């Protein structure tokens, strides 16, 4: 997704691109190696100083946002600030005309260890596959149950989009839902017992509108809907979210015993 307010949404839709090669090539084929090295980005001294002095609350106040939306966005940033790790069941839905593509997976991400782990359940072509992106080791390990192999690839050898997506481990989790560049409005608030469910409407994208759903008991966004010209393009849903479990690196990188193949 281009210009997405949620880098996590971008990551998980990019997962579709990362896994497209083994799906389209057939279950017995290993993914092809694509070599495209990303250029190093270096900030000028002036820009680096501006980044250090950036104030999120001032930025939020400067964009188009009513008082109620500002309250919800502030609560989201406070809830996510300082988050070290999370686990969640994820469903990614992409609508392609009459056809709907659904990917379900277990996501584990650790900022402390700079590791992202994804275990796939659906579709059948991906079922049982496990992807582990280790930023410190600068490699991605992909367990393929169909041939009981582990494909290992350096991050610099991934395609540009895939490498950018997996560099999520370089970010602070508080930046994953960054509303500071977009117009935000609170369009829904429903009480469910002592919990309030909020819906935010984000505009300012190229031809897109996003709706972000969040509950007052956690203030961690759990659903994102993406529309273009009033047509639903796709959605991202998080369930069974657990935060700050002190996940160990050993748990995150553990894969079934299998032969390793370097791509």
* Mean pLDDT for the stretch of residues 60-89: 79
Bigger pLDDT: 34 vs 215: 215
Domain that holds residue 153: 7-25+63-262
pLDDT at 23 over 70: no
Inside any domain, residue 76: yes
The mean pLDDT value for 84-112 works out to 90
What does the H/E/C string look like for the chain?
A: CCCCCEHHHHHHHHHHHHHHHHHHHCCCCCCCCCCCCCCCCCCCHHHHHHHHCCCHHHHHHHCCECHHHHHHHHHHHHHHCCCCEEEEEEEEEEEECCEEEEEEEEEEEECCCCEEEEEEEECCCCCCCEEEEECCCCEEEEEECCCCEEEEEEHHHCCHHHHHHHHHHHCCHHHCECCCCCEEEEEEEEEECCEEEEEEEEECCCCEEEEEEEECCCCCCCEEEEEECCEEEEEEEEEEEEECCCCCHHHHHCCCCCEEEEC
The answer as to whether 119 is a domain residue is yes
Range with the poorest average pLDDT among 36-40, 55-59, 169-173: 36-40
Report the alpha-carbon distance of residue 185 to residue 244 in Å, rounded.
30
In a domain, residue 182? The reply is yes
Instruction: Let me know: does 148 contact 24? Beta carbons within 8 Å.
Output: no
Task: Please state the pTM of the whole predicted model.
Answer: 0.71
Query: Is 56 inside a domain boundary?
Result: no
Query: Does residue 15 register a pLDDT over 60?
Result: no
**In contact, 5 and 181? CB cutoff 8 Å:** yes
Structural domain count, the chain: 1
Minimum mean pLDDT range among 48-57, 187-196, 200-209, 228-237: 48-57
Instruction: Count other C-beta atoms under 10 Å from residue 169's C-beta.
Output: 17
pLDDT for 26 = 37
> What pLDDT is recorded for position 191?
94
The mean per-residue pLDDT over the stretch 103-114 comes to 90
* Residue, of 98 and 189, whose pLDDT is higher: 189
* pLDDT confidence bin for 205, thresholds 50/70/90: confident
Average pLDDT over the chain reads: 75
Between 27-41, 118-132, 232-246, the lowest mean confidence (pLDDT) is in 27-41
Q: What mean pLDDT do residues 84-100 have? A: 89
- Best CA proximity match to 17, nearest among 91, 94, 128, 88: 94
12 within a domain of the structure (yes/no): yes
Structural domain includes residue 160: yes
Residues ≥6 apart with Cβ < 8 Å to 214: 72, 76, 197, 198, 200, 220, 221, 222
Q: What is the pLDDT of residues 109-153, one digit of tens each?
A: 888 898 989 999 999 999 999 999 888 888 999 999 999 999 998
- Assigned domain for 33 exists: no
| Res 127: pLDDT | 94
What pLDDT was estimated at residue 19? 35
Q: CATH number, domain at 177?
A: 2.50.20.10
In a domain, 129, yes or no: yes
More confident residue, 119 or 17: 119
pLDDT at 172 over 50: no
């Amino acid at each position: 997704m281009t210009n997405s307010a949620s880098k996590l949404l971008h990551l998980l839709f990019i997962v579709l691109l990362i896994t497209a090669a083994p799906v389209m090539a057939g279950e017995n084929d290993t993914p092809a190696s694509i070599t495209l090295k990303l250029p190093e980005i270096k900030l000028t001294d002036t820009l680096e100083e501006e980044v250090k002095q950036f104030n999120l609350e001032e930025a939020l106040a400067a964009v188009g946002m009513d008082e109620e939306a500002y309250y919800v966005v502030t609560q989201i940033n406070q809830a996510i600030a300082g988050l070290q790790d999370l686990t969640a069941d994820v469903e990614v839905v992409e609508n392609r005309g009459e056809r709907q593509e659904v990917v379900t997976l277990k996501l584990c991400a650790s900022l402390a260890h700079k590791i992202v782990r994804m275990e796939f359940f659906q579709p059948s072509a991906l079922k049982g596959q496990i992807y582990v992106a280790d930023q410190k080791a600068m490699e991605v390990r992909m367990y393929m149950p169909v041939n009981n192999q582990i494909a290992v690839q350096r991050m610099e050898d991934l395609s540009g989009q895939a490498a950018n997506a997996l560099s999520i481990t370089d970010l602070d989790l508080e930046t994953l839902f960054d509303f500071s560049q977009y117009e935000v409005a609170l369009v829904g608030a429903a009480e469910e017992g002592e919990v309030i469910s909020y819906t935010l409407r984000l505009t300012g994208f190229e031809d897109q509108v996003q709706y972000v759903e969040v509950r007052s008991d956690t203030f961690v966004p759990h659903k994102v809907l993406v529309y273009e010209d009033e047509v639903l393009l796709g959605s991202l849903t998080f369930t069974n979210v657990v935060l700050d479990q002190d996940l160990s690196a050993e748990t995150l990188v553990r894969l079934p015993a299998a032969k390793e193949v370097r791509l």
